Structure 1
């Protein structure tokens, strides 16, 4: 029964993550306030519907991934990866091809990391 409860908690996290992704994607807007966009990358994201949707999808995945219980070292790596993404995004500037590729990679990485975290968490309970 204890294993079932922990599995139920993990399932609830995954459902919450999926719901947040659906909500953010349905909104179709960037994950940040475009009226406050100042940097070239932010302006490019706000002016491109595809990039804006990718940013929202990535933000939903990040929200779910951030909520996943991880070991201490993995938790620090998670934050380092997020900072590296933002640094790379800034380096892209207004280059939409660069931003698109970066978002595709980040979304794929977050999906892989969430899958890994769910499998690891369930396997260790």
Structure 2
């Protein structure tokens, strides 16, 4: 059967997703999507101290980066505004791990829904 080659967007998504999956087992040092050596805020320090939160942070960052790479510039700007608002809300959790997990779960779910909406409009 003849298969079409993946579009550039699909190849970019697959590459980023593969990078994320390959990097997951390497989190022994609890590497977040940001430099933990520079973490100054309570929420950032809590993320760096927790393997689960660090992994959630990486997943969120990969999903956000993938989505912003697939949308037009105006939409990208709106998404960046949403991300800044989410980061501000996340900071309000301070060191409360339950609050941080909830915040990440909600943000990741939002990014998943946005990707599904984008995918449904295709063409990927």
Task: Give the TM-score normalised by the residue count of structure 1.
Answer: 0.82
Q: Which residue of 2 is the match for residue 112 of structure 1?
A: 113
Q: Give the Å deviation of 1:50.
A: 0.6
1:25-64 alignment, distance < 5 Å: 25-28=24-27, 29-64=31-66
Instruction: Name which of structure 1's ranges 16-25 and 111-120 shifts more when overlaid on structure 2.
Output: 16-25
The alignment status of 1:91 with 2:95, answered yes or no, reads: no
RMSD: 2.0
Verify the 8 A CA contact 1:10 1:118 in the aligned structure 2: no
How many residues align? The count is 118
* Residues 68/26 of structure 1: CA separation in 2 closer, same or farther (3 Å cut): farther
Stretches of structure 2 that go unaligned for 5 or more consecutive residues are none
| Aligned counterparts of 1:19 and 1:32: Cα–Cα separation in 2 | 19
Stretches of structure 1 that go unaligned for 5 or more consecutive residues are none
* Residues 79/119 of structure 1: CA separation in 2 closer, same or farther (3 Å cut): same
Task: Give the TM-score normalised by the residue count of structure 2.
Answer: 0.83
Q: Which residue of 1 is the match for residue 80 of structure 2?
A: 79
| Aligned counterparts of 2:25 and 2:72: Cα–Cα separation in 1 | 29
Q: Which residue of 2 is the match for residue 70 of structure 1?
A: 72
The alignment status of 1:103 with 2:87, answered yes or no, reads: no
Q: Give the Å deviation of 1:69.
A: 2.4
Q: Give the Å deviation of 1:43.
A: 0.6
